[in-house]
Structure 1
Amino acid sequence: MAALLLDAEEFSPLIRAPLGGGHDEKWLQALLFAHPGVIPIERIDPGAGSLVPICRELALPKDGASVFLDLLAVTAHGRLVLVECKLWRNPQARREVVAQVLEYAALLRRWSYADLTARLKASLKWSGANPLFSHVRRTVPDLDEVGFVEAVSRSLKSGDFDLVIAGDGIRADLEVLAGHLEGSNARLALVEIQLWTDGAGRTVVVPALPLRTEVLHQRVIVDGEGVPLRLEEPGDAVEAMEALADPERAASRDGNRAFWQCFIDGVRFDHPDQPVPRHGGNNWVKIPLPAPARWLTAYRTADEAGLFLPLDGDGGEALFERLAEAAAALRDESGLDLAFIRKQAEPFKGSMAVKRLLSDFASLEAQTAWFCNAANRLVNALRPRLSVEGA
């Protein structure tokens, strides 16, 4: 297939060809990776310069699993570009794709430049001290290493990304959803990929840009040098999208948030240094803990309620082993039937968890009371051990 770009006035001799068959999302992903010029980056992000593809199917760890970003790229000025490819035959994809790309941005925002480098070395078999810079310099020969590393680091810290949704037909409902997004420190662009064929069987690939947002501002806490220390989670943007696309699901989310707000308002911790919980995603909250742990997660599903301490990586594995050795004491101190779960060996993923069936509770108030009691007991049992670990 010859991938060509033509001006709009040259379209008349061509016939529009719908994507389908071999032209699926994987095909579109491969096309954009091989021909990044199809993405009109200068119209999305004026002054961005060259767009350099980095990798396809980047694994982004989240609690209990990983999600995969279709395409990661970077501009010559060090801004990361996240691309998600979607065909619109599936109506559910239209409702979820904006939330999906926002989730990917939120997960990537947790990484440092060193985290990104390590992941690329592992997945792409790259080597060297700074393989990302070396890769981009092949396209941008005059690239300054220090400036590039600082720019990518800023992009990660602040969540200052270009988010691109590329598909075969941007529907009006998706434009409405994107137009109502708030709470993301990123640019969002919808890129429609059109296929046209001529009488000789040649295929022409033409991008269109039906929507491009400006930077969508959010509340940011910064240090003395203006570097963001914490950004609000993109939950408000997801909720706005769902309210438009799926009112029933939005109502369920509102009910879940109200339940967890009652827990946040009602829980009382014996430990004087314990911060209050804060909302996470739909139907779960974070209970902050000191290093080397991060937080306890309190959650509800359709049929169970529980709390778990997520542990991953080398540090998480070491802590898991120490807590597992003290399992009997932890169960005795907390009065909870704690389970120690090894989910994955390499890289390590595990958790310490307790759960109950929702059918065990007579009311929402009983659920709230159990969460308050169990959270306080777990904090009391864990914090002294974490203080020793972090010392």
Structure 2
Amino acid sequence: MAGTAAASYDEKWLQELLFRHPELILLDGIETGSGGVVPLCRELPIPRPGGNVFLDVLGVTRTGRLVLVECKLWRNPQARREVIAQIVEYAALLRSWSFGDLTARLKQKLGSTHANPIFAQAEKHWPDLDEADFVDGITNSLAHGDFALIIAGDGIRSDLHAVASHLNGQRAGLAKLSLLEIQLWSSGSGQTLIIPTIPLRTEVLQQRVIISETGMPLRLEEPTSSETGDVAETAIERTINPGQAERKALDRAFWQRFIEEVRFDHPDQAPARHGGANWVKMELPDPAGWLTAFRSSGAKEEIGLFLRLKGDDGRRLFDELATDLETLRSESDLPLFAQVRAEHPFEADLGVSKPRSAFADEDQQLLWLKDAANRFITMIRPRLSQFSETTA
């Protein structure tokens, strides 16, 4: 922004302006044939160790390439350099997500019930869009870190070009970094003229989406299951105290209803399946193995969910999750607990539980478990993807 009107506007205003008027982003001028950009959401929360960060604007092109926009007013040199570090970090974090991770997070952010909210938004702009090709494009954009990174501000200085050029030497997947200048002028009658421009040198700027904070190159990992077999299942049985044998048939019927009725916002999540006498499992990528949903009886009657983490990888993941526990609670809206069960060998749980007496009947128990399981899965899967990238 420049001119007489600049002082009366802030970064939130600029963020909102670009979201509501994506034609100002001038993506066709940056990448010929891109077809413009459709905005998906503002302030997208992206988890990282230490708490969430928030991307100003996330958009997508007709080909499924993701567009990341950060807005910054250039009031001091430090802010100019920090915004480059921010957008590069956000790109690195997003690169560890799958299409399912992104879909689930957008469903949560937008309050959408659509099976594919990204395609639903894009189809409004491009009615002839092919869903399968579009989804493949987004999947490839995430897997290869192939993003359009755009810094929008009120003035592009030479030092910004220098820092951006330095990023070309970084390793990992390619993404283009472009600089968008927003000039703002006010007339004597109170009208405001907004002029977006692309500094010439940004047409050739290119940065390689970075390695992680620990220096590890990022790449997408396929989810696998870690714990299998009778020994692990017996350990789960001991944890939940399944109760008397004569109740097993009724308990199984309860969990069969859970399996049939639970719905997950994360499209990569496989259906729940029976685990044992009063618990079910929901498969997750390593090192989590699975999320357990249970009902206990006897001296401590509870219902709940827990993620059991073991070994060296489990310890590292647990330490990250425990450090971010308040963020996880806020994000999932669940009163999560983090508990170390044993040090040698390491074993710890991240979970949530409630006394069975808090519910009037089994229908209420089922409603709570279905909702809590969906919230837990939506919260944990992006973090598992990110952990897999940084430990690969």
How far 1:111 sits from its partner (Å)?
1.1
- The question of 1:99 aligning with 2:99 is answered no
* Residue identity matched to 1:67: V
How far 1:91 sits from its partner (Å)?
3.1
Residue 381 of structure 1 is matched in structure 2 by 345
- The question of 1:125 aligning with 2:111 is answered yes
Residue 211 of structure 2 is matched in structure 1 by 233
- The SS at the match of 2:3 is strand
Residue identity (%) = 46
Q: Structure 1 residues 315 and 197, CA, compared in 2 at 3 Å: closer, same or farther?
A: same
CA deviations over 1:20-49 (Å, ceiling 9, x no partner): 23x100000000001111111012111100
Contact between 1:311 and 1:320, CA under 8 Å: does it hold in 2?
A: no
Contact between 1:195 and 1:206, CA under 8 Å: does it hold in 2?
A: yes
Residue segments in structure 2 that go unaligned for 5+ positions in a row:
218-223, 228-285, 294-303, 316-320, 350-392
Alignment of 1:142-221 (within 5 A): 142-182=128-168, 183=170, 185-210=174-199, 211-214=201-204, 216=206
How far 1:146 sits from its partner (Å)?
0.8
Normalised to the residue count of structure 2, the TM-score between the two structures is 0.57
User: Which fold has the larger relative contact order, with Cα–Cα distance below 8 Å and residues 6 or more apart in sequence?
Assistant: 2
CA deviations over 1:25-84 (Å, ceiling 9, x no partner): 000000000111111101211110031010000000001310000000011111100000
* Residue identity matched to 1:381: P
Q: Structure 1 residues 51 and 120, CA, compared in 2 at 3 Å: closer, same or farther?
A: same
Q: Structure 1 residues 320 and 186, CA, compared in 2 at 3 Å: closer, same or farther?
A: same
Alignment of 1:38-77 (within 5 A): 38-77=24-63
- Distance in 2, Cα, partners of 1:55 & 1:212: 25
Q: Structure 1 residues 176 and 141, CA, compared in 2 at 3 Å: closer, same or farther?
A: same
Q: Structure 1 residues 212 and 234, CA, compared in 2 at 3 Å: closer, same or farther?
A: farther
Runs of 4+ in 1 over 6 A off after TM superposition: 310-314, 316-320, 348-353
How far 1:234 sits from its partner (Å)?
6.0
* Residue identity matched to 2:121: H
Of the three residues 14, 19, 42, the one matched with 2:6 is 19
RMSD: 3.9
How far 1:320 sits from its partner (Å)?
6.7
How far 1:313 sits from its partner (Å)?
12
How far 1:129 sits from its partner (Å)?
1.8
How far 1:312 sits from its partner (Å)?
8.9
- Distance in 2, Cα, partners of 1:158 & 1:350: 35
* Residue identity matched to 2:81: R
Residue 301 of structure 1 is matched in structure 2 by none
* Residue identity matched to 1:189: S
- Distance in 1, Cα, partners of 2:290 & 2:12: 34
- Distance in 2, Cα, partners of 1:311 & 1:143: 37
* Residue identity matched to 1:50: G
- Distance in 2, Cα, partners of 1:87 & 1:312: 42
Of the three residues 93, 96, 102, the one matched with 1:110 is 96
- Distance in 2, Cα, partners of 1:319 & 1:127: 24
- Distance in 2, Cα, partners of 1:102 & 1:165: 11
Q: Structure 1 residues 382 and 82, CA, compared in 2 at 3 Å: closer, same or farther?
A: same
How far 1:200 sits from its partner (Å)?
2.4
How far 1:134 sits from its partner (Å)?
1.3
Residue 353 of structure 2 is matched in structure 1 by none
How far 1:215 sits from its partner (Å)?
7.5
Residue 74 of structure 2 is matched in structure 1 by 88
* Residue identity matched to 1:199: G
* Residue identity matched to 2:94: L
- The question of 1:35 aligning with 2:17 is answered no
Residue 222 of structure 1 is matched in structure 2 by none
Contact between 2:177 and 2:207, CA under 8 Å: does it hold in 1?
A: no
Q: Structure 1 residues 214 and 315, CA, compared in 2 at 3 Å: closer, same or farther?
A: farther
Residue segments in structure 1 that go unaligned for 5+ positions in a row:
1-14, 219-230, 236-277, 282-289, 294-309, 332-338, 354-377, 386-391
How far 1:351 sits from its partner (Å)?
6.5
- Distance in 2, Cα, partners of 1:126 & 1:53: 15
Contact between 1:163 and 1:188, CA under 8 Å: does it hold in 2?
A: yes
Q: Structure 1 residues 313 and 74, CA, compared in 2 at 3 Å: closer, same or farther?
A: farther
How far 1:92 sits from its partner (Å)?
2.2
Q: Structure 1 residues 204 and 146, CA, compared in 2 at 3 Å: closer, same or farther?
A: same
How far 1:175 sits from its partner (Å)?
1.5
Contact between 1:58 and 1:70, CA under 8 Å: does it hold in 2?
A: yes
Contact between 2:95 and 2:144, CA under 8 Å: does it hold in 1?
A: yes
Contact between 1:45 and 1:162, CA under 8 Å: does it hold in 2?
A: no
- Distance in 2, Cα, partners of 1:316 & 1:24: 46
- Distance in 2, Cα, partners of 1:48 & 1:105: 19
Q: Structure 1 residues 234 and 209, CA, compared in 2 at 3 Å: closer, same or farther?
A: farther
